Each structure stands twice: as C-alpha cells, then as structure tokens.
A and B are shown apart, each in its own frame.
Chain A
Amino acid sequence: MTIKFFNDSERLGRLVSLMLSGAGVTLSIFFLTLLFAIPLGMLVAQGRMSKRLPVRAPVSFYIYIMRSTPLMLQLMFIYFLLPMILPFRIDRFVAVVFAFSINYAAYFAEIFRSGITSIPLGQYEAAKVLGYTKVQTFFRIILPQVIKRVLLPMANEVITLIKDTALASTVAVVELMTIAKKQVSSSSSIEPYFVAIIMYLILNGIAEQLCKFAEKKLNYYR
C-alpha cells in the first residue's frame, strides 16, 4: 500500500478538512443524543420506579428491548420503519438521532434509577418534615446527590456514545466514519482511518477531561 496523503500536504489538508466536517456531524449526533436522552432517561427512570404496574411494566419492557437488541439493528429498524408509519419523509440524520436518543435513554434510565435508589430514605424523611414539596425534594435534595453518584457511569456511557456514533454510517449519514470509509475505498489507502482514529481519540480525550473536571467540581462534599 502506498502513501498518498501523508506526503502531500495539500491533499492531506483537503482530507482533514473533509473529515473535520464529518467530525462536526459526529458531534451533532453526540450532543443531540445527550440533549434528548438525559431528560428522557430521567422520565424513564421515574416510570421504571413507579408504584403503578401499568406504568412500570411497559417502561421495563421498553428498557429490556433497548438493552437486549443491537443498537445497529434498532437503527436500521427505525430508519426503515419511520418512513412507513409517518406521513412525511424524515431525514436520515433525524432517524439516527431518534434511534440513539431512545436507546441511550434506556441506559441512562438504569443509571439514574440506581443513583436515585442509593439515596438513603432518611434524606426524603428529613426533607418531608422540613416541609419540602415532592418536587422541591427531588430537585433540591435528591438530584444534586444523584448527579454526583451517576457521574462515573455516565462518563463511561458518554465515551461509548462517541464511538457508537460511527454506527450512523450504516444508514449513510455522512459523519466521520462514513467519510473515512469512502476515502479509504476511493484512494485505496488506509491513511483516512488513521486520521479518523486520531479524531476519535481527540474527541474522547476532551470528553474525558470534561468528566474529570465535573468530578473535581463535585468533590466538595462526600
């Protein structure tokens, strides 16, 4: 295999800028998924912990499906299913963000649930006798403590998510992985893969640093 990019700075520049645009799409999938999956996961966690069986049972089933089938399969399924049941065309990018969001919401929900159930009952009781409403108790007393407890498992999920975005290439969303594949096959050189590896490393390096920073921030109490 011959070197085609690394000895031609102009060609390399074009490749990198092309792949950077792909990385932008990767980041969009990433941030949009977090944006939807975190609040949705919170809701799902509440539903999963509901005392009412008609709420708890379907929510548990949903979590079961999401965690027990491959994300790639879910992605394809949604990509082909949505156009069949919706009266309008949807963008493949939207389908991907939708699939990622509902999948990650299920994982987040389980993390939130274990975080919430690990808060001692005494915290709820103390809040209750002080007159906090249920909503105030959740947002003022419980949630801040849950955030600290879920930070580490959430950081793991975030890193997995960055890598999972590559699955979007299976439905031809033009993100980092898709571009890398195309460039490799059109140039018969694996250099684009190298560039992709470095870009994923940088993205995850930044994500890891942000998580460490958040962890430090929350270190003021135990």
Chain B
Amino acid sequence: MLTAKDIYKGFDGLGVLDGISININKGEVVALIGPSGSGKSTLLRCISQLERVDSGTITLGGDVLCKTENGILKYSDEATQRKIMLRMGMVFQSYNLFPHMSVIQNLIDAPVRVKRESKKSATERALAILEKVGLSDKAAQYPYQLSGGQQQRVAIARALCMQPEILCFDEPTSALDPELTKEVLGVIRSLAKEHMTMLIVTHEMSFARNVADYIVFMEGGKIVEEGKPEQLFHSDNERTRRFIGES
C-alpha cells in the first residue's frame, strides 16, 4: 500500500538516507529499528511530508507523492500532496497535543475544521475511540492534566479520529517510563489486532518481535537487513545480531 523507493535525503550536503526502499502492505505492521542517527525519523518524516526527499519515489495506494525519473525529482501538485497527507496519521515522540484544547477538542478539531465533518458525528467517533484507548473519562480534561502515557494515547486517538489508512509512529514510547510504555504499547497492539496498517520506529525490541509482521533494520541511512521477526531475531548477519543483542 505504501511504497518508498530509492530514497535519498541529506541535510546540508550530509547524506542521511542513502537509497532506502521500504514497502508496507495493507493491514501490516512494519517496525523500523536501528541505532541512533541511522535516519529512521528522517525516513518517517519524508513519508509523512514533514521533510522533502532529495530523490526517490513515494506512493500511497494509487497516489504518487513524488517520483524520480532519469534523475529528476518531481513532487505531485498541492492537492495530491494534501490528499495523501489526509490518508496518513502520525504519532510523535513528544505527543504534540494542542495544550489549549481539551482532549475531545484535540480529537474533533481536525475532522471538523479540515474535513468539514459535522461536530456531532466527529464527537461520536471520538468518544468511541477514546473508549478504545481507555480514556473515556478524560474527554473534558486538558493535556497538562494527563500523564505522559495518557497524553500519548490521546495523540494516537487524535490521529485515529482522522481515519487514516496508515499510521506512522516515531518512537512513541521513548519519553515514557516502563509502566506507561506498557499502556501505550497495549493500545498499538490492539490496533495491530484490528489490522491497522502501521509503520513504527521503535527501540522496544520485544514489542517489535511480538507485534510487527515485518522488521526493517537500518544503519547509516541504509537497510542492513529486513524480514520477518523470526528471521531478524535469528539472523546470520553479524551486525544485526549485535544490534539486537545490545538492545
């Protein structure tokens, strides 16, 4: 469903992504692992349009975000970019909830303002989603009144409320202590059971092993190894073994 092919990206001439290709099928959970600075966030940000690639092709379903032919990069028109943006959700490490809005407002504001949905139907869906992430009783609270784990679950709910076809996570639990990490991972796990398509950057190896259908291990802007969890966790590749062993 989502395909990124031969992605190159540098900052100020310094290469960060060095020819990465990744493919995610519908209903699949792909975990992206690798040491710090390997370019995981950058890849995710290129896919979610927070950064522009230097070269490569990205498509979602039938829509082309950008493509490179004969070495010439071409991004689609604004309307297509926006259409693709609305089909994807993103969850950040630092939650990035809107502090001046209550939980329920955080959830329904974009559906109402961006998608022009009625307040009533957005609210109904938002309440159902809040229930799913176990925060029904927090609808009227403000983000500062919630724990980190609760804030991250609201952030997931906010992304879900836009009904994305694919959800991207950038280290959703690395700002949380183990107890709160568990509750957030629990939510992601339940989404996986419902076959939500997800691309997750994570340092939680056992989570990647148990929940992901496919794992991509990258280092230095390149993919070192990729495959089913069992393959990577019993890898012959020296580098993979060392990274997984250390984590």
Contacts and interface: CB of A to CB of B under 8 A. Distances in A.
B32 interface: no
Contacts of B182: none
Interface string A189-222: 0000000000000000000000000000000111
B144 A221 contact: yes
A122 B85 contact: no
Interface stretch (B8-16, B92-100, B131-139, B210-218): B92-100
Nearest to A125: B50
A132 interface: yes
Contact of A126 (B86, B92, B100): B92
B58 interface: no
Contacts of B96: 120, 122-123, 125-126
A56 interface: no
A130 interface: yes
A13 interface: no
A128 B159 CA distance: 12
A129 B114 contact: no
Contacts of A222: 99, 142, 144
A54 interface: no
Nearest to A141: B98
B114 A131 contact: yes
Given A126-B96, A128-B49, A140 B113 contact: yes
30 contacts: A122-B92, A122-B94, A125-B50, A125-B96, A126-B90, A126-B92, A126-B96, A126-B97, A129-B48, A129-B50, A129-B90, A130-B110, A130-B114, A130-B158, A130-B159, A130-B162, A131-B82, A131-B114, A131-B115, A131-B162, A132-B114, A136-B113, A140-B109, A144-B100, A145-B99, A220-B142, A221-B99, A221-B142, A221-B144, A222-B142
Contacts of B89: 129
Interface residues of A, number: 19
B184 interface: no
Interface string B149-186: 00000000011001000000000000000000000000
A91 to B, nearest CB: 42
A221 B82 CA distance: 31
Nearest to B90: A129
A132 B116 CA distance: 11
B88 interface: yes
Nearest to A123: B96
Contacts of A221: 99-100, 142-144
A129 B159 CA distance: 9
Contact of B110 (A122, A131, A144, A220): A131
Going nearest first, the 7 A-B pairs with the smallest beta carbon separation are: A126-B96, A122-B96, A130-B110, A131-B114, A129-B90, A222-B144, A221-B142
Interface string A105-137: 000000000000000101101101111100010
Contacts of A141: 98
B110 to A, nearest CB: 4
B85 A136 contact: no
A132 B114 CA distance: 6
A123 B98 contact: yes
Nearest to B162: A130
Contacts of B109: 140
A92 interface: no
Interface string B39-63: 0000000001110000000000000
B14 to A, nearest CB: 20
